[in-house]
Chain A
Amino acid sequence: SAVISQKPSRDICQRGTSLTIQCQVDSQVTMMFWYRQQPGQSLTLIATANQGSEATYESGFVIDKFPISRPNLTFSTLTVSNMSPEDSSIYLCSVGPGGTLRTEAFFGQGTRLTVV
């Protein structure tokens, strides 16, 4: 299994500012994933963060808006830059299934972001 600590749990931010979300895993993992859940919607994958290389972004998401760091095998950050009210969402980090030791995904509790 994996225990993921994500912070902050929620924040209210002014438009035009940036917020960095941190995600700590209790074990070493190759890949970490960042998702966005807009109000009343499902989860959409933003990017895959692989230690030692640049993150891979899904269609519709760009590095300038959502820069990601992955300095080691247990930690990652997602920054939401130059925020607008449309960025108000829940952001979740995750470690996915991988190999025989972890057959399911684990999620952080999420960061509820409100942009005013």
Chain B
Amino acid sequence: AQSVTQLDSHVSVSEGTPVLLRCNYSSSYSPSLFWYVQHPNKGLQLLLKYTSAATLVKGINGFEAEFKKSETSFHLTKPSAHMSDAAEYFCVVSGRLFGNEKLTFGTGTRLTIIP
């Protein structure tokens, strides 16, 4: 069984300030973890992924996340927010299913950037 909890449904930050989107997971297996972003009326875009290599993962657009097994967390951060970062962000955990992996999505965090 697997699950993911996004601790904040809505985060607001000022442009140029740091971003922190929190995610905790539960998985019966060594998980793969992902962050996806969805801009309004757009498809899902992969920001970054953790697949049991380096625990600090760097993604696109300056985002990064750190896998912390002891805390079962995979928080997403960015040093300086940009207006274009305003979107919905999903933390996702994968679990093994017959050798393929199905995804479980968190409920999402809406990021608002204040000019």
Contacts and interface: CB of A to CB of B under 8 A. Distances in A.
A42 B108 contact: yes
B32 interface: yes
Interface in A62-101: 92, 94, 96-99
Contacts of A105: 34, 46, 92, 94, 103
Interface residues of B, number: 22
B101 A98 contact: yes
Nearest to B49: A104
A42 B43 contact: no
Nearest to B94: A97
A31 B43 contact: no
A43 interface: yes
A31 B101 CA distance: 9
B102 A107 contact: no
Contact of A96 (B44, B94, B105, B108): B94
Q: Which of B94, B102, B107 is most buried by chain A, counting CB atoms within 10 A of its CB?
A: B102
Is the interface on chain A under 10, 10 to 19, 20 to 34, or 35 or more residues?
A: 20 to 34
B106 A42 contact: yes
Contact of B107 (A42, A45, A98, A104): A42
B5 to A, nearest CB: 12
Given A104-B34, A104-B49, A109-B43, A99 B102 contact: no
B99 interface: yes
A41 B38 CA distance: 12
A48 B44 CA distance: 19
Contacts of A48: 97, 102
B100 A103 contact: no
A81 B69 CA distance: 43
A27 interface: no
Contact of A31 (B32, B90, B98, B104): B98
Interface of A: 30-31, 33, 35, 41-45, 48, 50, 92, 94, 96-99, 103-105, 107-110
Given A33-B102, A50-B98, 6 more contacts: A41-B107, A42-B107, A45-B103, A97-B94, A97-B100, A103-B32
